[in-house]
Chain A
Amino acid sequence: MSEYRKSPRSPLPSVAPPKSRPMRVADGGRIDRTRRLSFTFDGVAMTGFEGDTLASALLANGVDLVGRSFKYHRRRGIFSNGPEEPNALVRLRVGARMEPNTRATMVPLYDGLVAESQNRWPTLAHDIQALNWLIAPWIPAGFYYKTFMGRAANTRLWMWFEKSIRRAAGMGTGTHEADPDDYDKMTAHCEVLVIGGGPSGLAAARAAAAGGGRVVLVDEREDFGGRLLMDRETIDGEEGAAWAARMRAELAALSNVRLLPRTTAFGYYDHNRIGCVERVSDHLIEPEPHRPRQRLWSIRAAEVVLATGAIEQPLAFADNDLPGVMLAGAVRAYANQYGVKVGERIVIATNNDDAYRTACDLDDAGAWVEAVVDMRPKGAEPTLRAAIKERGIDILHGWAPVKAQGTKRVRGLAILKIDETGKPVGNQRAASCDIVAISGGWQPTLHLFSQTGAKAVWDDAKACFLPGPPRQRERSAGACAGRFTLSECLEGGHAAGLDAAEKAGAARPTLAAPRAEVTPQNPPRAIWECPKPVNTPGKRFVDLQDDVAVSDIQLAHREGYVSVEHLKRYTTLGMGTDQGKTSNIAGFAVMAAARGVEIGRTGTTTFRPPYTPVALGALAGPEVGEHYAPLRRTPMDSWHAERGCTWIDAGLWRRPRTYPAHEGEGLFDAYIRETKAVRGSLGLCDVTTLGKIDIQGPDAAEFLNRLYINGWKTLPVGKARYGLMLREDGLVLDDGTTSRLGETHFLMTTTTANAVRIMAWIEYYLQVVWPDLRVKATSVTEQWAAMAIAGPKARECLATVVDRDLSNEAFPFMACGPCVIDKGVAGAEIPARLFRISFSGELAYELNVPADHGRAAWERLMAAGAPFDIVPYGMEALGNMRIEKGHVAGPELDGRTTAEDLGLGRMMSSKKDFIGAQLARRPDMTRPDRKQLVGLVPVDGKTRLGQGAQLVAADAPARAGSLAAGGAPVAMIGHVTSTGYSPELDHPIALGLVENGRARHEEVIAMRDPVRGRETKVRIVAPVFVDPEGERLHG
């Protein structure tokens, strides 16, 4: 191998490690050198300047090793200067604000920033798992599938290795502490949304804003300008960065323009809705008071201009992952934007014209540019070539990089002449260098475009995917449309802005496009895979983040994973936090070459949101903790709280669970005491949460006849009736009492859980199925406070409060009607509705008062009940008493039970049709051995039954026989639905569903409750434990 030597110029700079010398050039760059910022990386204190990113500051401090690779733990350095960064993932901040996997290239430097490298142990420089590299030949693509799936899945091999594999193959670790910062959500509407604030986006926003409509401009970086800040081009004779600053100021002054820097448009959703995340405070050590860390924007735009730019692609040659191999555009950006010279002696390897500008700019920055290695036989456009020659830099036409030399970082580059087909010819030569600046051409950033559902199309001449026909109201401008030169960007952006504004309804203004020098370009060569001569060691990495090499893709091809989607899943190509921004094109090209097809025929993998990672905190926004869902409170909520009740959630409502008599009274003791009090004397329960639907109209009774399985036409005014509804498929939907308040006026009640659903159900039938019915329905759940007063003393107590005759003759069981509380007492009168209905099985009434009077009425009843030792009772006692009475509720109405299953089959009217009537008669719905509602008691009289526990035959085997040996699982004949404890019977009780249960009363079966570790024999009994004749409620 002969050493490559360029024409001698001044003495060659050494390729000594960068730490020994300053990397920051004396002046230049768009940083504020008067503002020095301190930060630490892996505990080492360093400084940078205002305007730096963490990456540029690290490079300026000579840090060339920033992370370890995912699989092989190889040394990796900063590779890019943007959102595509695959290597420089760091853990940012400490404590609860710690955030893993942030891209150093996108982290703005601030004073006090703390960053740590990831995926290494014990230190970055000495990572013990770098030994993985030694076994690399034995862990190819698909290693885990091959080793741990199939036959091996039945062994414990995977379980044995999983922990250490997961630890070794990893990204950064986060924190388990709660995020102390706030996140915000915003919604915005505009005529034109411009995504990307580079030259195209600025020109588009300027043109769109002139139309007068609302314009929003978002850009993911700290400031607008895009590549104008990284290059040295001029617009209308003005320096690019200055033009960008002027544009920003001009746009900011317009009232119809909203500028959102530091904002990433991460998702393009249906009907032109774009999701963006604004990093409001990520450039600060912590957010200012009352400011969020990030803000999630949902922007609905009439028209969208995509000016998302392009991403430079790498070249695949051996050991191309060594620190010091960088994208050419990034090398130039670090010099121009941050005044950082990333190396002293640079070799450029390229397949296109653009990298020539890196050679010029780095030469001007004082670096020694060793040579431009151009893979194209003819090289760049003549003026560019001349500019390079003028600087005395050699250009090698038709040469390709073969291997990066060096162990800890780049010390040289081996190159080789290639022919028209890309095959090597002649001998290798080597060039000494400390930076290899590579360019595999620029790929339009099509993420958002593709998320609209539109397809990218391959362009042979430009060797890149371009946006195809749009599917939503959007257009691409500038580099993301494959128009890479500045003059094309300005022209395209301007035209796109005008077009978008016009399509959104604005008049076309007279406005000249900004102009830049027209720079012709020679086409790139569609080659990314560089030759690898026999005996050249090292992997040609394609995906740096996921450690996928050319050989892995070729292996996937040999093993049949040829579609790009299969390729991705088999090799992990294009996975990870960067989602293949710098690897997919080369990867697809390698696969296309292996298959012998054009790259355009392989297509692309599907682009899905988000374009770059989005913090879950931003997506959750302010809807966390108690703000996760609204809390519904009854009008008596404050009384319950003051009384010190325990709470239970019922949907969005909170309801009292128990009212402990003293501190330390447990749940069981409290609800047993409350149950005894109601059955012994008197109790009061808040039942406001039951759904209440007011139904009125001439056809109201007919409508109820169709909704419920039982008849309603004969129900007299002033009476209530229990009703049961089926779904269309014949299974039970809901139950409740409905009262006839007037000839054409009914009040329906539903269960708490189904209140919303039944209301929608009613609206569906009235609006869609039977619009001819003259019926209107309105939810009045929140308009009325409801309370149940129950117990043998209920009549006696209530009689002192309301103005009605409550005798059995005047107001019998199931009577209802209006009444007045404290009639004639000035200031205390409350209009009310009274219903004699009972859920507890006791003599009971339900009182409804307008919601505003809820607490007053409640307190009045508590006072009136004092002589009878009234107690407030909660959900536990309520539920316990309904189990004692065998009333069905949610656990029995589980969407699988029929009316017959629940013992309510006789309610089904045969004289009319109703919802579910026909399908309820299907053979399987009427089978006699279906699971039926039964009561259950423990044979030993003391073991508590477990809700959800399985019921099996008394002599069922303890365990299922070995299924492999043809054994059968233990047959389940039913399950426990609701459990309680009857103080009257003084033993546990339960309801359950048991196959053919009604015919099995007194049979003893077994309850198996492995979750709670209980097992006991239970006796099947009738599902009514207390007062089976119903004497009390009729009394």
Chain B
Amino acid sequence: MFRIECPWCGTRDMVEFTYVGDGTLTRPALGARTGHFEHVYLRANPKGTHVELWHHVAGCRQHVAVKRDTLTHEILATGGPGEVTAARDDVPKGAAKGETGGMA
């Protein structure tokens, strides 16, 4: 079970959160006729770094963007929605905001 650093509450156990989904998606703008199918159905299944959304349902009820290595479960960074980007090298390892996960 992970520990996730909520930007508003601090580090909390995974049981307080609900997994929402891919955090890199952008919903098509209101009125847009295209892009909905891709938004709803098409997902990458990355091995390695991934940004996902977790909902702190048993805490502050805010959505938290979590940059996580899907292979090692290492959490590299957390922030508000849109605050965490997918590129791995933008957050130097060890200096990451959310590196409280206990990875050696």
Contacts and interface: CB of A to CB of B under 8 A. Distances in A.
Interface of A: 269-273, 300-302, 453, 470-474, 706, 728-729, 760, 763-764, 767-769, 771, 913, 918-919
Interface stretch (B43-51, B86-94, B96-104): B96-104
Given A300-B3, A918-B33, A728 B103 contact: no
Given A471-B72, A763-B55, A272 B102 contact: yes
Interface string B59-103: 001110000000011010000011000000000000000000111
B30 A706 contact: yes
Interface string B24-42: 0001101111001101110
Nearest to B27: A769
Contact of B36 (A272, A769, A918): A918
A504 B73 CA distance: 20
A729 B40 contact: yes
A270 B33 contact: no
A68 B78 CA distance: 56
A474 B102 CA distance: 9
22 contacts: A270-B1, A270-B101, A271-B3, A271-B101, A271-B102, A271-B103, A272-B102, A471-B103, A471-B104, A473-B102, A474-B104, A728-B27, A728-B40, A760-B18, A760-B57, A764-B63, A767-B81, A769-B27, A771-B81, A913-B31, A918-B28, A918-B33
Contacts of A300: 3, 13
Nearest to B104: A473
Given A269-B1, A919-B40, A763 B61 contact: yes
Contacts of A913: 30-32
B36 A270 contact: no
A780 to B, nearest CB: 14
A472 B81 CA distance: 28
Given A470-B104, A764-B63, A918-B33, 17 more contacts: A270-B2, A271-B1, A271-B102, A272-B102, A301-B102, A471-B72, A473-B103, A474-B104, A706-B30, A728-B39, A728-B40, A729-B41, A760-B18, A760-B57, A763-B62, A768-B53, A768-B81
Nearest to B33: A918
Nearest to B4: A271
A919 B41 CA distance: 11
B88 to A, nearest CB: 18
Contact of B63 (A302, A470, A763): A763
Contacts of A771: 81
B36 A919 contact: yes
Interface of B, helix, strand, loop or mixed by DSSP: loop
Nearest to B20: A764
Contact of B2 (A271, A473, A760, A767): A271
Given A271-B102, A760-B18, A768 B31 contact: no
Nearest to B37: A919
B51 to A, nearest CB: 12
Contact of B102 (A302, A453, A763, A764): A302
A192 to B, nearest CB: 13
Contacts of B57: 760
A299 B13 CA distance: 12
Nearest to B34: A918
A270 B73 contact: yes
A769 to B, nearest CB: 5
B73 A767 contact: no
A222 B57 CA distance: 42
A769 B29 CA distance: 9
B73 to A, nearest CB: 5
Given A269-B1, A706-B30, A767 B104 contact: no
Nearest to A728: B40
Contacts of B2: 270-271
B73 A271 contact: yes
Contacts of A767: 62-63, 81
Interface centre among A270, A272, A729, A771 (most CB of B within 10 A): A270
Nearest to A920: B36
A490 B55 CA distance: 47
B66 to A, nearest CB: 13
B10 to A, nearest CB: 14
A269 B102 CA distance: 11
Nearest to A269: B1
A729 to B, nearest CB: 5
Contacts of B31: 913
B63 A768 contact: yes
Nearest to A304: B102
B80 to A, nearest CB: 8
A769 B72 CA distance: 29
A474 B104 CA distance: 8
A472 B1 CA distance: 13
B96 to A, nearest CB: 14
Most buried by A among B36, B57, B72: B36
A764 B1 contact: no
B55 A764 contact: yes
A472 B102 CA distance: 6
A579 to B, nearest CB: 23
Contacts of A474: 104
A472 B72 CA distance: 9
Contact of B103 (A472, A729, A764): A472
Contacts of B53: 768
A918 B13 CA distance: 38
A84 to B, nearest CB: 28
